[in-house]
Structure 1
Amino acid sequence: MPLQSHQTALAALALLMLNGCVHAGKVDEKVPYPKAEAGYQRHVIQLPALAEEHDVKLELQVGKTMQVDCNRHSFGATLVEHTVQGWGYPYYEVDSINGPVSTRMACPPGTEISKFVAANGNGFVVRYNSKLPVVVYIPAGFELRYRTWQPSQEFKTVAPE
């Protein structure tokens, strides 16, 4: 078979593999991921490429904005990592969320404010990976926020006591 025929065959195979993954000339990175179940929302985060991604962590916060008093408030939640069958891609699901719970300090009347209340106080830390979208399923009525954590460039020495 001539070289041009091999190239044509490879191009056709690549198109077949991407069938269903391409919309309007763009690759749809959500295709291999399951659709959100009833009562859940699917969120997709596309992270920028970084030079030292192995040093960076991604913090995910699931919560909602609420009227709260001076106490500390949070939701209890569990984040579970799953793998897309046949693809090996990770995705995350908050499979249970309860609360809110709070401390029980006596607060002065009229001190309520609108504030984002996160699950587990600070959220969940996962691996930073710009090569794949970060796909997170959360219960409807909650929102997803994220931020990155990077180490400082210098280590500090600790002297023995």
Structure 2
Amino acid sequence: MKTLMTLGWMGAAACATAAEPLEAFPKAEEGMSRWVLRLPEREDAGRLRVEVVVGKLVMTDGVNRHFYGGSLESRTVEGWGYDYWILPELGPMIGTRMAPPEGAPKVETFVTLGGDPVWFPYQSQLPVVLYVPEGCEVRYRIWTAPEELEPVPEG
């Protein structure tokens, strides 16, 4: 009986270590880098959303607004059902065309993908995994909804 219990505990421990979610995700392909966002457990997770932004630090004129072409695509790890996101390629940098003041210094700017941001429900059980071209960065911010719900007038 003691041996069976020991084997049971060893099996449970092996399952716990083999269930590391990150092991299910593919390694980054050549020319790509993998970014992993692990969020801490929070009691108010139901009121939180995560905004993920992909971009690159580049020198700009500090006057015009710039963005890159491209969009994140959702994929699923076969056999696991885990979702991950990939930016197959970073498109060209596009910007407005206002003339900066003569002699204006260049400034380092985090230029992001154009279009709508990517949102995730706040979840600490699984990491958010993204694959982006090398040289890109992934940043995020947490958005919080107030506890109070505002009434909508009828009519």
TM-score bracket for the superposition, by shorter chain length: 0.7 to 0.9
- Cα distance in 2, alignment partners of residues 43 and 103 from structure 1: 30
Contact persistence 1:73–1:100 (CA under 8 A): yes
Residue 43 of structure 1 is aligned with which of 24, 35, 45? 35
Deviates more, 1:82-91 or 1:124-133: 82-91
Corresponding residue of 2:7: 9
Code of the aligned partner of 2:50? L
Corresponding residue of 1:68: 60
- Cα distance in 1, alignment partners of residues 15 and 152 from structure 2: 54
Residue 82 of structure 2 is aligned with which of 84, 89, 111? 89
Higher relative contact order (CA 8 A, sep 6+): 2
Following superposition, the deviation at residue 60 of structure 1 comes to: 0.9
Following superposition, the deviation at residue 29 of structure 1 comes to: 4.3
SS in 1 for 2:91: strand
- 1:113-128, aligned counterparts within 5 Å? 113-120=107-114, 123-128=117-122
> What is the TM-score normalised by the length of structure 1?
0.81
Residue 141 of structure 2 is aligned with which of 123, 130, 147? 147
1:40-69 deviation per Cα after TM superposition (whole angstroms, max 9, x unaligned): 101111101111323211111111111112
Code of the aligned partner of 2:60? V
- Count of residue correspondences: 153
Residue 127 of structure 2 is aligned with which of 126, 133, 136? 133
SS in 1 for 2:72: strand
> What is the TM-score normalised by the length of structure 2?
0.83
Mark the CA change 1:10 to 1:83 in structure 2 (over 3 Å): closer, same or farther.
Answer: farther
Structure with bigger strand share is 1
